[in-house]
């Protein structure tokens, strides 16, 4: 145990896999298990709880800027815990399924590659296509596609200053595959991009990872995607979902996650499939939550392995506590019921 970890423990902030933190995580896991059991089999529409994914703006203007704040945390924190190859800040795929919840014994780096490979297969991405990486994060999917398919073209959209600065400084400036003939970056919200910036029927594929949680009007998002997709083009969404409808997850202000993601929604797995006005629904997959539990557990471990470099030079005492609670809270949401109640949904749509 380092001096830093001892100092933090004296302040009531307990490190990864410490006895006191494990006790807290077990308590939280029991809480979420009871919540999932309470709402098990609930297929009530979100409208019955006063929420609609068919109305309003794509994302509420009053909360969307605040929600980006989480992604604009100190860059060195993300460097400390994300995978070293793609800096993916979403679920990695360790092979766990509802039928076989065992996790593959692989690195975080390989598990993130496995996720991108799975998404590319399900979206039927082919070399030579033009792909929109919608909400592109630190550019992980774009990097994977550009390095995997030598003739593919990718457009990334992301309003986060920290993440797009990484793309510009570490990928565009240094990676040969990110030349300006194959990759273009828009540093703004998708709903703010005017129709004359991206022409109609431009993309073969649109991929979003971790976007629908921040979307209020999925129908309007689908309409905008339909405009820029070619006929026969495909759209694949990947987002956190609950298997059943859990009312207080529909509005982040009513759950503990509102502190980290203001204005966010955790949709029930069935919700995105309803949005077929502008794109035709083709297929969907529920990705077992143990994959995200393992991802978060690895992030949590790496965060504490680098805590001597992060605190106090880079982040404050309050920020250490905030990140520590974030990892523990998120992990315990995914682990109950062997990951069958809360995980990720993947949704494939086609423009006819």
> 285, 345 in Cβ contact below 8 A?
yes
Percentage of residues in the chain with pLDDT exceeding 90?
89
For residue 83, the model assigns a pLDDT of: 99
Tell me how far apart the alpha carbons of residues 50 and 184 are, in angstroms, rounded to a whole number.
39
Task: Going residue by residue through the chain, which has 352 residues, state the pLDDT in tens, using 9 for 90 and above.
Answer: 899 999 999 999 999 999 999 999 999 999 999 999 999 999 999 999 999 999 999 987 655 555 555 665 789 999 999 999 999 999 999 999 999 999 999 999 999 999 999 999 999 999 999 999 999 999 999 999 999 999 999 999 999 999 999 999 999 999 999 999 999 999 999 988 888 889 999 999 999 999 999 999 999 999 999 999 999 999 999 999 999 999 999 987 767 766 777 778 999 999 999 999 999 999 999 999 999 999 999 999 999 999 999 999 999 999 999 999 999 999 999 999 999 999 999 999 999 9
What is the number of domains present in the chain? 1
Q: Is 345 helix (H, G, I), strand (E, B) or coil?
A: strand
Q: What is the domain-level CATH number for residue 266?
A: 3.40.50.150
Separation CA 17–CA 10 (nearest Å):
16
Full-model pTM: 0.95
Put residue 232 in one of left, alpha, beta given phi > 0 → left and psi -120 to 50 → alpha: left
Neighbours of 35 (CB within 10 A): 19
The tokens for 319 are 């920020």
Q: Cα–Cα distance between 93 and 182 in angstroms, integer?
A: 27
- Give pLDDT, residue 66: 56
The domain of 10 spans 3-350
Q: Can you tell me the distance from the alpha carbon of 35 to that of 44, in angstroms, rounded to the nearest whole number?
A: 16
- Return the pLDDT at 65: 59
Eight-state DSSP code of residue 170 = I
For 100, phi then psi, to 5°, come to -135, 85
Q: Contact 284/346 with Cβ under 8 angstroms?
A: yes
pLDDT tens for each residue of 208-260: 999 999 999 999 999 999 999 999 999 999 999 999 999 999 987 767 766 77
State how far the Cα of 93 lies from the Cα of 114, in Å rounded to an integer.
Answer: 6
Cβ burial 160-196 (10 Å sphere, 16+ → b, else e): bebbbebbeeebbeebebbeeebbebbeebbeeeeee
């Amino acid at each position: 145990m380092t001096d830093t970890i001892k100092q933090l423990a004296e302040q009531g902030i307990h490190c990864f896999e410490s006895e006191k933190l494990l006790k807290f995580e077990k308590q939280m896991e029991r809480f979420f298990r009871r919540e999932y059991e309470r709402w098990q089999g609930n297929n009530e529409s979100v409208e019955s709880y006063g929420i609609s994914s068919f109305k309003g703006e794509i994302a509420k203007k009053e909360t969307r800027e605040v929600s980006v704040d989480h992604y604009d945390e100190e860059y060195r924190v993300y460097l400390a815990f994300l995978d070293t190859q793609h800096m993916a800040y979403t679920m990695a795929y360790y092979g766990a399924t509802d039928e076989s919840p065992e996790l593959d014994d692989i690195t975080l780096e390989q598990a993130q590659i496995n996720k991108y490979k799975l998404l590319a297969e399900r979206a039927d991405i082919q070399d030579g296509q033009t792909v929109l990486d919608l909400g592109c994060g630190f550019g992980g999917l774009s990097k994977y596609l550009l390095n995997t398919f030598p003739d593919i073209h990718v457009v990334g959209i992301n309003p986060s200053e920290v993440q797009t600065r990484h793309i510009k400084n570490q990928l565009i400036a240094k990676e040969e595959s990110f030349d300006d003939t194959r990759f273009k970056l828009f540093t703004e919200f998708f709903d703010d991009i005017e129709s004359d910036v991206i022409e109609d029927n431009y993309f073969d594929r649109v991929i979003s990872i971790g976007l629908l949680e921040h979307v209020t009007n999925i129908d309007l998002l689908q309409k905008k995607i339909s405009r820029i997709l070619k006929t026969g083009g495909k759209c694949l969404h990947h987002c956190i979902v609950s298997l059943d409808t859990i009312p207080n997850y529909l509005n982040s202000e009513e759950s503990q996650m509102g502190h980290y993601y203001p204005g966010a929604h955790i949709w029930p797995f069935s919700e995105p499939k309803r949005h077929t006005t502008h794109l035709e629904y083709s297929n969907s997959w529920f990705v077992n939550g143990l994959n995200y539990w393992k991802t978060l557990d690895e992030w949590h471990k790496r965060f504490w392995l680098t805590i001597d470099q992060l605190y106090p030079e880079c982040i404050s005492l309050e920020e250490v506590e905030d990140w520590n609670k974030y990892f523990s809270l998120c992990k315990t949401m995914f682990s109950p019921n062997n990951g069958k109640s809360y995980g990720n949904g993947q949704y494939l749509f086609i423009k006819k």
